[in-house]
Chains A and B, each alone.
Chain A
Amino acid sequence: MWGLASCILVLLVAIVCIRIYYILPGSKTTDRTRAINHDRKKIAIFLGSGGHTSEMLAMTSTLDFNKYSPRVYILSEGDTLSRRKAITLEATKAAKYGSVSKNTNAYTFLVIPRARKVHQSLLTTPYTALLSLMHCFYHVTIAPCFHGSPFADVLVLNGPGTCLVLCLAVYLNKFLGLSSPRTIYVESFARVQTLSLSGKLLRPLVDRYIVQWPELLRDGKRGECRGWLI
C-alpha cells in the first residue's frame, strides 16, 4: 500500500518538475507572436510604490496607448500616491492623443494586499504573503476563466516584493496551460553593481529580464542591457 502511494507521489513530483522545466523561459524557444498593426494588446503595469512607481510610469509614458489598451495598473493596498500618479499620466496622455480618451474603459486599477509591509515582522510575513498570493491567483487565474478574456497580454514589473507573488500567479496559468501574459522585468536604475532581491528572484522566471547597468550581467546569466531606460 505504502509502496504504491510513494510510487504515485514520485510520479506526480516528476510530472510537476517536467512541466515546470518546460514552462520556464530559456528551456525552449520562445513563441513570440507577431501582431498585426491594428491589434490592441492588454497591458498590466505593476506599480511598486515610491521610486519603483516613478520609474515604471516614466517608461509607460513612452508607449503608444492606442496599441496598449486597455491598461491595468496593479497597486498595493493603500498606495494612493501611485494611483494619483497613474491618473495624472493617463490624463496627460489623453490630452495629447484625443483618441485614447474616447474609450472610457481604457484603464483600470487592480489593488492587491502587500506581500510584506516595510518593517513587518518575519513571523507574520507568511500569512500576509499567502493572502497576497490568493488575491493574485484570483485575478490572474480564476477571474479570467469566468470573464472569458485573458488577464493581460503583457505584464511589466520592476519590483519590489509583491511583484514576485504576481509572477507566481502567472506561473500557475502557465502550469495549467491557461493563457498567460508575457512578463518583462526591468531592474531599477538605482541598481548598478548588485541586483535587488526581487531582481534576483525573478531573473529565472520572467520572459524578458532587463537591467540598466551592464555591470549587473557580469555573471553571464540571463538578462539584457540596453542602457538607461529612464
Chain B
Amino acid sequence: MRAFITVGSTRFDELIQAIFSTSVLHSLSNKGYTELVVQCGYSSFPYDYLLAHGELSFKVQEEGVFIECWKFRPALETEYEQADLVISHAGSGTIVDVLRMNKPLIVVPNSTLLDDHQQELAAALEKLNHLRSSTISSLATTIQEFDPSSFTKFPPFAGDKFRDLVDEEMGFA
C-alpha cells in the first residue's frame, strides 16, 4: 500500500524528520505501507542535501519502505487519489481536498506556528470522526492503531449556501 505525506507549500521540519525516523517507518511497514511519496517543501531534514542543487526528487529505501521524496509534487490531486493513507500538516485546504476524496487522513498540527489554529481545526474534525489528529511524538503509535475504515464520510461541497447568501443580500432571493 501507498502513503502520501505532505507539509503544504512551506515547511514543517519536525514532521518530515519524524517520517524518516525508524519508529514511524517501522509502523508504516508493519501496517503494509511499503511505498511512500513525500512532498517535503522547504523542510530541513537529514536527506535535504539531496534536493539542495535544484533536484526535483530523490529515492531511498529504508526499513523496507521505498521512499520517493519531492520538494513539490506537481499534481497533488493525483497523489491523493493514488494514496491509501495521507499524512499531512493540518492546513485546511489540504484537509478538505483529501477528505473530499474519501482518503484516510492523519494530520499533525504544526504547533510552532504563531497563530495555532491548525490545532483547533484538527481537534474539531477529529471530534466529528473525519480524521485522526496526532503529534510528532505519538505519530508512530497513531499509525500503528489507525483503522482507515472507522471514519465518518465528509459531507460534499454545499455550494448553495454561499450563493443563497449573496443572492439574498443582493435582493435576488
Contacts and interface: CB of A to CB of B under 8 A. Distances in A.
B75 interface: no
Given A191-B117, A194-B117, A182 B170 contact: yes
B contacts with A: majority SS: helix
Contact of B161 (A55, A68, A153, A229): A229
A103 interface: no
- A-B pairs, 9 with minimum CB distance: A35-B171, A62-B159, A190-B92, A59-B162, A192-B120, A34-B171, A62-B163, A192-B124, A229-B162
Interface stretch (A128-136, A161-169, A207-215): A207-215
A62 B170 contact: no
B120 A191 contact: yes
A154 B165 CA distance: 12
Contacts of A228: 155, 158, 161
Interface string A34-70: 1101010101000000110011001101111001100
A151 to B, nearest CB: 15
A118 B64 CA distance: 41
Interface in B79-114: 91-93, 96
Nearest to B163: A62
Interface in A175-204: 182, 184, 186, 188-194, 196
13 contacts: A32-B169, A55-B93, A61-B159, A62-B160, A67-B170, A153-B170, A182-B170, A190-B121, A192-B121, A193-B117, A208-B165, A213-B124, A230-B157
Q: Which of B118, B157, B161, B162 has the most CB of A within 10 A?
A: B162
Interface of B: 9, 91-93, 96, 115, 117-118, 120-121, 123-124, 155, 157-163, 165-167, 169-172
Given A62-B159, A62-B160, A41 B170 contact: yes
Contacts of B163: 62-64
B168 to A, nearest CB: 8
Nearest to B96: A230
A227 B169 CA distance: 18
